[in-house]
Amino acid sequence: MFGFFRKKKSLLDEESNRLIVKAIRHAEQRTSGEVRVYVESRCRFMNALDRAAELFHTLKMSNTEYRNATLVYVAVKDRQVAVFGDEGIHQKVGTAYWDNVVQEMLASFNSDNYAKAISEAVIQIGNALQAHFPYDKEADKNELPDEIVFGR
């Protein structure tokens, strides 16, 4: 009976959460681009890239001025990851770039260091965004929240 009132265990601990949010903020300080991270337990009934695309649109990430938002998607228990970039950044870096980011994350996941893997991916994406969409202190604004979005 009391199990119903029990607090649901988070997919990431507070230290991991802080590390990832810090990486997002660091990446975004150098670019007009936006990075979000979505973490859920499982990716059911579709592949991770399709799920990332679905979430990207659900989170209204295509509403950025330069279409340069990127979503890092992680299904922890399934060990599935995907990176989905909007058309502005995708045209600059291409599919091979995203595939490389995913492969590096998966390699780090094999050592069970999810927060480090996600943070490094965010920094890597931030570097690409900086190269193609540099920070402009006169015009830049934070268009999307920096906090991690947690699914089921």
What's the CATH number where 58 sits? 3.10.310.50
Q: What local confidence, expressed as pLDDT, does residue 138 receive?
A: 80
With respect to residue 21, please indicate whether it lies within any of the assigned structural domains: yes
With respect to residue 51, please indicate whether it lies within any of the assigned structural domains: yes
With respect to residue 2, please indicate whether it lies within any of the assigned structural domains: no
Average pLDDT, 10 consecutive residues per value, the chain (152 residues): 47 92 96 96 92 97 95 93 97 96 89 88 97 88 94 88
How many independent structural domains does the chain possess?
Answer: 1
**DSSP annotation of 4:** G
Q: What local confidence, expressed as pLDDT, does residue 1 receive?
A: 42
Q: What local confidence, expressed as pLDDT, does residue 9 receive?
A: 52
Q: What local confidence, expressed as pLDDT, does residue 10 receive?
A: 67
What distance in Å separates the CA atoms of residue 5 and residue 11, rounded to the nearest whole number? 18
Q: Which residues contact 141 (CB under 8 A, 6 or more apart)?
A: none
Q: Which residues pair with 147 in a beta bridge?
A: none
Q: What local confidence, expressed as pLDDT, does residue 4 receive?
A: 44
With respect to residue 107, please indicate whether it lies within any of the assigned structural domains: yes
With respect to residue 1, please indicate whether it lies within any of the assigned structural domains: no
Predicted TM-score (pTM) of the model is: 0.91
Print the domain residue range for 97.
Answer: 11-150
With respect to residue 3, please indicate whether it lies within any of the assigned structural domains: no
